[in-house]
Structure 1
């Protein structure tokens, strides 16, 4: 299914935490988007891969994604090798996105930075005709290279190269995040997981998400924003249309 934007995250919930507002804003502008998770987050302290998968699909429904796919790569041990790149090329060629949103260039979790490089490499190699791939039905896929890859900012503070105003969409972003009850609800008295707390499971992390969005938006005059880094400097056709 062709989409305008493909958001890719190494763990279920990476997308919701870091670029869900951007996806919602662009959906309101008439663009379509799909989601790809590289792993099932099976090394996470709380919950199980089965629970995370159910939560991920609930969040995708909340966001209005055209599809959500999981490549079942190994959490914590993801490698930028030929087999892994080919899996990702197949996913990219299947939906032919114009823009790909990818993990942070570097971050507290080692998987994030490794996945950033993997995703960027796959986007490039997807445009090479001599790399042959087939879809799940066995039909040959056409080459496809997205026009741009933007790396969303995650846990660590990074200086953004661009920000997106998500002020009208922040509450819906939080609704999608809250679908991951196994990860973020130990501040809820009805927490039924009774598992160890983590740096992201308490109310202070929810407060952090709001503060981070405030901080990212401040310089551009937005109340709330999400930030992105680029490996290739984007061109601007009209200076008058910059905020």
Structure 2
């Protein structure tokens, strides 16, 4: 198993989601782990969401360690491919208005949901230098992929992630798929693959290796 080490110093991290709760479901444990460094500046962009859901996402951003309120693009849920140009503009504006990131977290480029998939495919055309990691979102489509990068999570981080999901997104509690068992199960499965208790998993499409000067 090869280890990818992030720099010890300050990090600028962008987390981008198509919908409120995408970021926290897909990489909430990673954000909580990064927030503990005290040197990670996390900024988020959410492309869709009603007023209620935007309020939830704002609460979640703070709870998961983001010092800045999320940026919202105000685009229609489940219709992002029809608004390709507006999605591209939202991503480019977010890039221009913020410091250059070291890490960008976005959905998988082969995600079965059309909104996630568009965002995952478009992100590498917007950010060509930083490390881009594509997070996974469990759902009924059965599109769980084969990740190639894992971040082990301490049990207390995994537990906090699930508790905060429930606290921050009460509007989703009635969804048939929303429960603690699902969230823990995916982290446990990825933990088995990473030889630890819990982990979050990502797809890294391109990694630049340096052998030094």
Q: TM-score, normalised by structure 1?
A: 0.72
CA shift at 1:12, angstroms? 0.4
Q: Is residue 106 of structure 2 the alignment partner of residue 118 of structure 1?
A: no
SS in 2 for 1:84: helix
Which moves more between the two structures, 170-179 or 79-88? 79-88
Match in the other structure for 2:12: 4
Provide the residue aligned with 1:26 in structure 2: 34
The match for 1:105 is 109
Indicate if the aligned counterparts of 2:31 and 2:65 stay in contact, CA closer than 8 A: no
Shift, 1:111, TM fit: 1.5
Give 1:132's aligned residue: none
Task: Report the secondary structure of 1:71's partner residue.
Answer: strand
Aligned-residue RMSD, C-alpha: 2.2
- Corresponding position of 2:145: 158
Whether contact under 8 Å (2:162, 2:184) holds in the other structure is: no
Q: CA deviation at 1:83?
A: 4.0
User: When the two structures are aligned, how many residues end up with a matched partner?
Assistant: 193
Q: What is the DSSP-based 3-state SS (H/G/I as helix, E as strand, rest coil) of the residue aligned with 1:210?
A: helix
The runs of at least 4 consecutive aligned structure 1 residues that moved more than 4 Å come to: none
For residue 107 of structure 1, report the CA deviation from its aligned partner: 2.5
> Structure 2: how far apart are the matches of 1:199 and 1:234?
41
Q: Distance in 2 between matches of 1:166 and 1:236?
A: 27
CA distance in 1 between partners of 2:31 and 2:52 (Å):
24
CA distance in 2, matches of 1:114, 1:74: 14
Q: Secondary structure at the residue paired with 2:127?
A: helix
Distance 1:237-1:119 versus aligned 2 partners, 3 A rule: same
Q: Distance in 2 between matches of 1:212 and 1:83?
A: 33
Which residue in 2 is equivalent to 1:181?
A: 170
Higher fraction of strand: 2
Looking at structure 1, the residues matched to 192 and 211 of structure 2 have their Cα atoms a distance apart, in angstroms, of 25
Residue 93 (structure 1) aligned to one of 88, 93, 96: 96
* Larger Cα-atom Rg: 1
User: CA separation of 1:237/1:215 partners in 2, compared to 1, >3 Å: closer, same or farther?
Assistant: farther
Q: Is the 8 A contact 2:56 2:169 kept in 1?
A: yes
Q: What's 1:200 paired with?
A: 177
Unaligned runs of 5+ in 1: 41-48, 125-145, 187-197, 239-243
Corresponding residue for 2:63? Answer: 62
8 Å CA contact 1:3, 1:34 repeated in 2: no
